[in-house]
Structure 1
């Protein structure tokens, strides 16, 4: 019960800033008609309760599946087994990821079914699973992260010359929505266990950083290739007219609940089947462990159903309404100010970002404070949402005008900053676009695009998630460069004064270890547990 209370408080802090902005807008420039505001409140409660239950279910039931599978893979010691399990696990986890389910439904609506939800989810899941296998090969072979990222994004750039430009925003946004509260903790726990297959397992555990970043590129590549091979048609520039129900308080929520329960059942059923079959044939777990895992999956089912019902039945309607109203208001400064504020507040309240900032403080032994990283991240994400919205105000500004220089800077910094900072930074890009950004803030952007006569609802209404995902690789690596400069300066001072305190270095395992960064969150707790399991399995090998 204490754990559930902690989850409830964690998710409440994520929703409250957005709710505060909505109430302020309602009282000032955008009075919400009918029952939109009270239904937003009901939707917010459903989002809070649902996300809390889901996170608890992941921690109790789904993350252990990753640890159990990593233990099985380590015992086999075969690369073919690693690749097979990695692909299957990555595919099934992405199919059930809350952020991608929300995003796929929005793309299906915006494109009038040209890019259907099931097509996007399957393609993105397959792409992530393939690149996840590449990430595992990198861990086992010891390849440098910077070169893998450079090669991956170079391939993205080449395909962008051939793929339809209309699908660029869809592909890049999908990459930021694939890795969320379900995929990240399980994948990192699994990867940390797999790292023990290397001889230098104590050092290789830091290789788990960067795996999420590599996997995210898979979503972009998969959608680009699909748009080329399937000759997907031109997307509508105006999109459907989305008029929210302003007269019925409960009806939209009640209508969405069975639909969301069905989609969640289809998403989680393969994962449950994989566990049950694996338990009969390979794992043979104790009854208490088996019950705990199944109970966790049931909690995840209930939580994800409530979350999607609240988001689609009341939460996002208000985001679209505010976006449309501000765009029709005709005040560009007001629209851009609200866009910046939403991005700033959403990232401040995102639990995964707090974990990320604390990890940076840990690996720098406090030289780079978490508060400074958070301030830089909040300003960066606020700026990202502002720049994405600026495309509505300046029609000649296109998404690739922002992404191309942004990724050149991010990948370029990977060759200047340390491998550890690069992994942390690019992984941060995968976790920064959390549930608030993929629901309310993205809905706000789509509403603003729908209310702007010169805007394309697909090309201009999307692109926000990838802009947000671009900020951590730039911000954290810049801070890493500053930290390295300080460390070198302290080293030089120590050379002159032997009594000076030693400076932490990149090779210090106490800093590079993901376990040293572990906090009481699903992502970090799973990572720490995966590391512990990896150590245990490796120790058994040595003893034998």
Structure 2
């Protein structure tokens, strides 16, 4: 229970800044209805308890499963087995990700059913499966990460020339949404399980990162190919945003709870089935270990339900209301500054960010402090939201004006940054755009877009997740350069090669 208590304390420190910002805005720039504010505080409580239980569950349930599966695959010493396992695990992990279902549902609503939720979920999951497989093969053959990423992003650049602007935004958003609270810890553990058995410990350390980065490009490529071959040049339709003036406080929680419970159950079921199959034929763990892992899965389930209910019933409406009210003010600089600050603090409450930063600290034996990585990520995400807000304010600015130079810089830096940091940076890009960011921040941006004349809520809403996924890549590679300069002897050479 001491571990759970420490998780609650950690999450408490993460959520307090967001609560403080919202309270400050309520008292100054954007006063909120009392019922909305009370719901926000109840949502806070759900998030604190839920996130702590979730992180505890991941530690004793999801991570051990991923690591054991990784080791089981590596022990076969057969490349075809690594490829097949990568395809199967990648598909089931992705198809179970709640974030992907949320985004796919949004796309279906926006396009009035022209692009179905099922087609997006399946197409993206196929893309993820193919690239998880490629990523595991890369670890086995020691192929440098930056070479793989350069090749993949070159393919994306070529495909982007033939992809419609709307699908360009959706494809990058799908990439961010796929690397969510469940997918990330599993993929990270899978990579660590495969890489830890290699004799070269330095190569093993570097190779344990990068699989999330490679996997997330699969979503981009899959959606782009779907767009090119479907011949749908433009998304038509509109999002029916029904604004309820309900003053109900408990109502939204009761309404969201069963829907989210079903989604999380769907998310965890394939992982549970895969674990039981592997346990029967491969793992042969003791009954005590199996019980501990099953208990971990239960904690993960309960925690994720509480967390997502808190976000959806308490946070999203407040995000939308705050965005609308601040964007309605005469001085538009306010909305950019608030966007930056919100991006800065919201990242602290992302579940997958906590999982990744802890793993970075463990893998580098505490050399790369999680607090430093967290601060760098927060700056990167804050900048991403601020730039997204500028795109709404300035109609001439388009998404590719950011993404093209951004990814060009990211890939160029990957040739010179310490290789350990390249993997960490590209993984962090996917991790930053998790359920917290994709709900609260998306609501804030859409609320602002609704208030700003000439802005399109749908076009400007999509693409924001893509920005959040890109900026941490640059920020963390810059951090890598700083570490390189600060430790020319000993330290970083030992860890980063």
| TM over 0.5, shorter chain | yes
**Matching residue of 2:345:** 345
Cα distance, 1:370–1:259 mapped onto 2, change above 3 Å: closer
Contact 1:357/1:371 (8 A) holds in 2: no
Q: CA deviation at 1:232?
A: 4.5
**Matching residue of 1:401:** 401
1:248 aligns with 2:253: no
Partners of 1:409 and 1:482 in 2: CA distance? 17
**Matching residue of 1:460:** 460
Partners of 1:45 and 1:142 in 2: CA distance? 45
Q: How does 1:290-439 map to 2 (within 5 A)?
A: 290-348=290-348, 350=350, 356=357, 359=360, 375-439=375-439
For residues 365-397 of structure 1, what are the alpha-carbon distances to aligned partners after superposition, in whole Å with 9 as ceiling and x for unaligned? 96x887666555433322211111111110010
Partners of 1:113 and 1:21 in 2: CA distance? 37
Deviation larger for 278-287 or 462-471: 278-287
Contact 2:124/2:174 (8 A) holds in 1: yes
**Matching residue of 1:441:** 441
Q: CA deviation at 1:69?
A: 1.5
Contact 1:320/1:447 (8 A) holds in 2: yes
Deviation larger for 153-162 or 338-347: 338-347
Q: CA deviation at 1:307?
A: 2.4
SS, match of residue 42 in structure 1: helix
**Matching residue of 1:274:** 274
Partners of 1:98 and 1:258 in 2: CA distance? 14
Cα distance, 1:4–1:117 mapped onto 2, change above 3 Å: farther
1:8 aligns with 2:12: no
Contact 1:487/1:505 (8 A) holds in 2: yes
- Scaled by the length of structure 1, the TM-score of the pair is 0.83
- Scaled by the length of structure 2, the TM-score of the pair is 0.90
Cα distance, 1:371–1:39 mapped onto 2, change above 3 Å: closer
For residues 35-83 of structure 1, what are the alpha-carbon distances to aligned partners after superposition, in whole Å with 9 as ceiling and x for unaligned? 2111122222223322222222222222221122223223322122222
Partners of 1:62 and 1:474 in 2: CA distance? 29
Q: How does 1:148-297 map to 2 (within 5 A)?
A: 148-195=148-195, 198=198, 200=200, 203-232=203-232, 234-236=234-236, 238-297=238-297
**Matching residue of 1:41:** 41
Partners of 1:141 and 1:241 in 2: CA distance? 50
**Matching residue of 2:139:** 139
Partners of 1:111 and 1:445 in 2: CA distance? 20
Cα distance, 1:352–1:187 mapped onto 2, change above 3 Å: closer
Cα distance, 1:67–1:282 mapped onto 2, change above 3 Å: same
Partners of 2:349 and 2:303 in 1: CA distance? 20
Partners of 2:450 and 2:285 in 1: CA distance? 53
Uncovered stretches (5+) of structure 2, i.e. residues with no partner = none
For residues 60-116 of structure 1, what are the alpha-carbon distances to aligned partners after superposition, in whole Å with 9 as ceiling and x for unaligned? 222221122223223322122222222222222233334434444444444444444
Uncovered stretches (5+) of structure 1, i.e. residues with no partner = 489-501, 514-544
Cα distance, 1:303–1:108 mapped onto 2, change above 3 Å: farther
Contact 2:205/2:420 (8 A) holds in 1: no
Partners of 2:362 and 2:277 in 1: CA distance? 42
Partners of 1:149 and 1:369 in 2: CA distance? 26
Contact 2:85/2:133 (8 A) holds in 1: no
Cα distance, 1:119–1:364 mapped onto 2, change above 3 Å: same
1:56 aligns with 2:56: yes
Cα distance, 1:374–1:7 mapped onto 2, change above 3 Å: closer
Q: CA deviation at 1:23?
A: 1.8
For residues 463-522 of structure 1, what are the alpha-carbon distances to aligned partners after superposition, in whole Å with 9 as ceiling and x for unaligned? 22221222222122223334434555xxxxxxxxxxxxx44453x2xx249xxxxxxxxx
Deviation larger for 99-108 or 26-35: 99-108
Contact 1:192/1:208 (8 A) holds in 2: yes
For residues 261-308 of structure 1, what are the alpha-carbon distances to aligned partners after superposition, in whole Å with 9 as ceiling and x for unaligned? 222222222222222233233333322222222222222222222222
For residues 174-197 of structure 1, what are the alpha-carbon distances to aligned partners after superposition, in whole Å with 9 as ceiling and x for unaligned? 212222332223222222222256
Cα distance, 1:115–1:304 mapped onto 2, change above 3 Å: farther
Q: CA deviation at 1:447?
A: 1.6
Give the superposed CA RMSD. 2.9
Partners of 1:487 and 1:61 in 2: CA distance? 37
For residues 103-154 of structure 1, what are the alpha-carbon distances to aligned partners after superposition, in whole Å with 9 as ceiling and x for unaligned? 4444444444444444333332222221111111111122121111111011
Partners of 1:446 and 1:23 in 2: CA distance? 20
Q: How does 1:466-477 map to 2 (within 5 A)?
A: 466-477=466-477
